[in-house]
Chains A and B, each alone.
Chain A
Amino acid sequence: EVQLVESGGGLVQPGGSLRLSCAASGFTFNNYAMSWVRQAPGEGLEWVSSIIGAGSKTYYADSVKGRFTISRDNSNNTLYLQMNSLRAEDTAVYYCAKVRFPHCSTTSCYFFDSWSQGTLVTVSS
């Protein structure tokens, strides 16, 4: 059974930093691209960042480019999101998500069949 377990959310002041972790199990982690998707309170879903299985290519939404860094440790089956220079508008539940099929070689297969439970990041003074 696929499991994605997040940790690292919480309250942080504007301008601060936070690192989210997502521990994966139940599948061959390095075969799958992974992503972060967020949802502001009462709002819809927003794609944040993605990383290919090997970890050598990353993608970012314009809203977080230059401030967030996605990475993965395939030896420990863990996905990360380092969030710096946080703003109030980054307040959201953050989900990590696994793409449906392994060995995605193009971005036209990045839809998500497994999601973490979500962790709330609150940016406020």
Chain B
Amino acid sequence: DIQMTQSPSTLSASVGDRVTITCRASQSVSIWLAWYQQKPGKAPNLLIYKASSLDSGVPSRFSGSGSGTEFTLTITSLQPDDFATYYCQQYSSYWTFGQGTKVEIK
């Protein structure tokens, strides 16, 4: 099974900050990686797929990069609506999620 490890687990930031979350795979997943945002009590929301493709309607301040085993999600200017938990998901070999990164208010 492919394991996905996100870092950090929690991130404290302020509105306007640039935020970067890292996701590492235990083996190569090529570019088959997605990112989701989840708010408390709500279902996840797809942000990015194929490592760097922004899903429809997702603000351009979100971007993804990487391939193989290392990936990043970047939020260029953090907005109040962005405080949430973010998950990566590989879909190269079956499907596994990272443990999540909580972005909280500093």
Residues of A within 8 A of B (CB): 35, 44-47, 50, 59, 61-62, 95, 100, 107-113, 115-118
Contacts and interface: CB of A to CB of B under 8 A. Distances in A.
Most B CB contacts (10 A, CB to CB) among A108, A111, A116 go to: A111
Given A112-B44, A117-B43, A50 B87 contact: no
Interface of B: 1, 32, 34, 36, 38, 43-46, 49, 55, 87, 89, 91-100
Given A44-B100, A95-B43, A100-B49, A111 B94 contact: no
A88 B94 CA distance: 25
Instruction: Determine chain A's interface SS by DSSP, over half rule.
Output: loop
Contact of A116 (B43, B49, B99): B43
B97 A112 contact: no
Contact of A113 (B55, B89, B94, B100): B55
